[in-house]
Chain A
Amino acid sequence: MSNAVMESKPSVPDEIPTFTATLIIRRFDPEVDAEPRWQDFDVELHGTDRVLDALHKIKWEQDGSLTFRRSCAHGVCGSDAMRINGRNRLACKTLIKDLDITQPIYVEAIKGLPLEKDLVVDMEPFFDSFRSVNPFLMAGIVPKGGKERKQSPVERARFDDTTKCILCAACTSSCPVFWTDGQYFGPAAIVNAHRFIFDSRDENAQVRLDILNDREGVWRCRTTFNCTDACPRGIEVTKAIAEVKQAILRGKP
Chain B
Amino acid sequence: MPEKTAGTLAGDNLVAPKISMPRRPAGTLYRGREGMWSWVLHRITGVAIYFFLLVHILDTALVRVSPEAYNAVIDTYKTPIMGLGETALVAAIGLHALNGLRIILIDFWSVGTKYQRLLFWIVIGLWVVLLIGFVPRQFMHIFGAH
Contacts and interface: CB of A to CB of B under 8 A. Distances in A.
Contacts of B117: 225
B39 A224 contact: yes
Nearest to A115: B27
Contacts of A222: 39
B135 to A, nearest CB: 29
A20 B19 contact: no
Interface residues of B, number: 30
B28 A225 contact: no
A44 B1 contact: yes
A191 B17 CA distance: 44
A114 interface: no
B78 interface: no
A228 B106 CA distance: 14
B33 interface: yes
The prevalent SS among residues of A at the interface is mixed
B112 A242 contact: yes
Contacts of B34: 225
A87 interface: yes
Nearest to A174: B30
A253 interface: no
A86 B21 contact: no
B86 interface: no
Interface string A217-248: 00000111110110000001011001001100
B21 A38 contact: yes
Interface residues of A, number: 35
A40 B17 CA distance: 12
B64 interface: no
A61 B113 CA distance: 45
B35 A223 contact: yes
Instruction: In the A-B complex, list the 8 residue pairs whose CB atoms are closest, starting with the nearest.
Output: A225-B35, A86-B31, A239-B113, A35-B25, A224-B36, A224-B39, A36-B25, A224-B35
Interface of B: 1, 4, 16-17, 19, 21-23, 25, 27-36, 38-39, 103, 106-108, 112-114, 116-117
Interface of A: 20, 22, 24, 26, 35-38, 40, 42, 44, 83, 85-87, 104, 106, 108-109, 111, 174, 176, 222-226, 228-229, 236, 238-239, 242, 245-246
12 contacts: A24-B19, A37-B25, A86-B30, A174-B32, A223-B35, A223-B116, A225-B116, A226-B35, A229-B33, A239-B113, A239-B114, A242-B107
Given A223-B116, A225-B116, A229-B33, 11 more contacts: A24-B21, A26-B25, A42-B4, A86-B30, A106-B22, A109-B27, A176-B36, A229-B32, A239-B114, A242-B107, A245-B107
